[in-house]
Amino acid sequence: MSVCSSSETETECGSPYAASNNDSITSSPDSSIASKSNPKKRSADDVDEHKSSHNSMTKFAAAQAFARLMQTVPNKPKKQSIYVRFKAILLQKARDEGHTDIVKNIATVAKEEWNKVKNINVTNAENANLSGNYQHLVDAKAQAERNAVAEEQTYTSEFKSWAERFSPVAVSHLTWQTMEASPNNAVNLKQAVNTVQYMDKDHADVWPNSKDYAVVANALQKAEEELKSFEADAADRDLVHKLRGASDDVLMQHAKEHRTALEQVQELHRVKAQLEKFLKEKGKMDQEKSKQDSRLVYSLMGEISSGLRKQMVYQSGLKYKGKAISFKRTGVSLDVFAQVFGVPAGTKEALIDGPTKSIRYGYLECLGVKVKVTGTGVLTASTKYKIA
């Protein structure tokens, strides 16, 4: 990976990554198309605004610093299980002590030794000093765990320190490339974007927690949007160039494809309009349903009490034997049911204390009212009443 000097061109000073992934950004073979107008050309005010949005690094200084820092990215620790680390420790110890038989059969030996300590919590004080042949195995496992933690901590610390230097440089480099991108040199913007995207993905476990990450993410988003517009422009110019020299058959085929695409767009607009209308109507219905449910929460208990009281009449024998009555109502959701009867959401049964809710008529009263609701919203309240 080379570091570009101030005399090198931007293309020569591209990102250390993704340099070969630039085939989607090409200048048109028809130079007259690219030279007629540059829709991305910025005014002096635009340039001043961009310059004030990042630090005072020059374009070439930012590119040089960006390339240098990409050469010093801290390496991520290897993903190794505690067993693999434990095995490596046993192997190194066997080599140091000259146990060639263990070295030769380390796979078998390590597995056997690991089975002796794999379920032992080496951080437990009770296991700190084990007698016999287990102590060195516990020590090896403890060392393996410490090594894993230490490597992760070292990487995190080194990367955060590196990111503090890299983030402002990345912002400056991305801003310069975004500000000065054109159809003819958008490859430089693409390389910068690809490199920062790679870093963001490869170090997603640490970089978002580092200083200035949000500023980098913002600069990257703007660069991605700019790159997307250039890629679309490049594709349009390439198509124009191809169609200029195309045969009548090719032009006819393209015309048919274009007409089909327009028809599909019109159909999408129609479907979108229908969906928006449906969602608007559904929103009104949901709002009205919410109002009805709110009213029902306050009135349902009264409806049940009134409906049951109307059925309570004096009859002979009520002092010794109760008479069954019931009340039914539709349009009661599980949510309303839960709010009215103070039960967990989704509950379909509840019990009302008759006297407490004033479900009585003169000397007649019902003590327990069993209330049920179905998934379709049908509520049934059933009880027996008798002379109190």
| pLDDT tens-digit series, residues 37-46 | 444 444 444 4
Looking at the structure, tell me whether residues 326 and 230 fall in a common domain: no
For residues 230-248, give the mean pLDDT. Answer: 82
Domain span at 326 = 300-387
In angstroms, the CA 190 to CA 24 distance is 9
Q: Write down the residue that tokens 């690809």 correspond to.
A: 194
The reply to whether 314 falls in a domain is yes
The answer to whether the CB of 212 falls within 8 A of the CB of 167 is yes
Angle (CA) 21-24-9 rounded to 5° is 65
Looking at the structure, tell me whether residues 131 and 32 fall in a common domain: yes
Of 234, 228, 163, 229, nearest to 196 (Cα)?
163
The reply to whether 274 falls in a domain is no
In angstroms, the CA 21 to CA 198 distance is 13
- Angle 82-97/135-179 helices, nearest 10 degrees? 120
The reply to whether 191 falls in a domain is yes
The reply to whether 123 falls in a domain is yes
Looking at the structure, tell me whether residues 210 and 327 fall in a common domain: no
What SS3 class is residue 101?
A: helix
Task: Pick the range with the lowest mean pLDDT from 3-12, 271-280, 313-322.
Answer: 3-12
The reply to whether 350 falls in a domain is yes
* The domain boundary residue, chosen from 229, 245, 261: 245
Q: What is the pTM of this model?
A: 0.49
In angstroms, the CA 163 to CA 8 distance is 26
For residues 294-310, give the mean pLDDT. Answer: 89
The reply to whether 266 falls in a domain is no
**For all residues of the chain together, what is the average pLDDT?**
80
Looking at the structure, tell me whether residues 8 and 119 fall in a common domain: yes
Looking at the structure, tell me whether residues 64 and 189 fall in a common domain: yes
The reply to whether 124 falls in a domain is yes
Looking at the structure, tell me whether residues 328 and 227 fall in a common domain: no
In angstroms, the CA 388 to CA 386 distance is 6
Looking at the structure, tell me whether residues 305 and 192 fall in a common domain: no
* The domain boundary residue, chosen from 245, 276, 310: 245
The reply to whether 253 falls in a domain is no
Instruction: State the pLDDT confidence band at 149, using cuts at 50, 70 and 90.
Output: very high
Given a cut of 50, whether residue 83 has pLDDT beyond it is yes
Looking at the structure, tell me whether residues 238 and 350 fall in a common domain: no
Side-chain-facing half-sphere of 250: CA atoms under 13 Å: 8
* The domain boundary residue, chosen from 201, 223, 245: 245
In angstroms, the CA 35 to CA 33 distance is 6
In angstroms, the CA 62 to CA 64 distance is 5
Looking at the structure, tell me whether residues 341 and 203 fall in a common domain: no
Looking at the structure, tell me whether residues 310 and 188 fall in a common domain: no
Number of structural domains the chain divides into: 2
The larger pLDDT score, comparing residue 208 to residue 151, is at 151
Looking at the structure, tell me whether residues 231 and 318 fall in a common domain: no
Looking at the structure, tell me whether residues 5 and 69 fall in a common domain: yes
In angstroms, the CA 357 to CA 292 distance is 23
